[in-house]
């Protein structure tokens, strides 16, 4: 298994589940095992949606995806980064959603590129590298 390179945001994982032949799924398929990960915050958000809608088909697809995309736990270092990022964004008056703050802090702490379709919000986080695979072409 290779080292992680990208962290998938909730909307990226949802896109892979809904559109297994779509551009996000194609980019994910080009990753080596272990290069793409997701935060436990993303997993929790998805599990909430599944439980609320009683979506067993989506749950099966998510569980299949988790065999390829590991879920990473939060650490005290991530909590420190969360505090720094939240303070900075609050001072700037550019706060983003609380779950998004955790996801951004997680990706920053690990030095990972965040794959998201919410690049306008995440671009407010200093130092966070963001890619939007829905709008970018699959590398040749």
3-state secondary structure of 133: coil
pLDDT score for 140: 43
pLDDT score for 48: 93
Residue 12: Cβ within 10 Å count: 28
Whole-number Å distance between alpha carbons of 48 and 14: 13
pLDDT score for 69: 96
Whole-number Å distance between alpha carbons of 132 and 134: 6
Domains in the chain, CATH or no CATH each: 6-131 (3.40.50.1010)
Flag residues of the chain having pLDDT under 50.
138-140
3-state secondary structure of 38: strand
pLDDT score for 21: 94
DSSP string, 75-90: -HHHHHHHHHHHHHHH
What's the pTM?
0.92
Determine if residue 34 is left, alpha or beta; phi over 0 gives left, psi from -120 to 50 gives alpha, anything else beta: left
């Amino acid at each position: 298994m290779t080292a992680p390179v990208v962290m998938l945001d909730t909307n990226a994982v949802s896109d892979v589940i809904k559109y297994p032949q779509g551009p996000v799924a194609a980019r994910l398929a080009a990753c080596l095992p272990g290069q793409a990960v997701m935060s436990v915050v993303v997993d929790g958000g998805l599990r909430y949606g599944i439980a609320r809608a009683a979506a067993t088909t989506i749950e099966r697809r998510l569980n299949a995806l988790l065999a390829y995309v590991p879920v990473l736990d939060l650490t005290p270092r991530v909590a420190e980064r969360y505090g720094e990022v939240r303070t900075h964004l609050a001072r700037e008056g550019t706060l983003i959603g609380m779950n998004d703050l955790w996801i951004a802090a997680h990706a920053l702490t690990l030095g990972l590129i965040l794959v998201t379709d919410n690049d306008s919000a995440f671009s407010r986080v200093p130092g966070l590298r963001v890619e939007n695979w829905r709008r970018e072409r699959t590398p040749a």
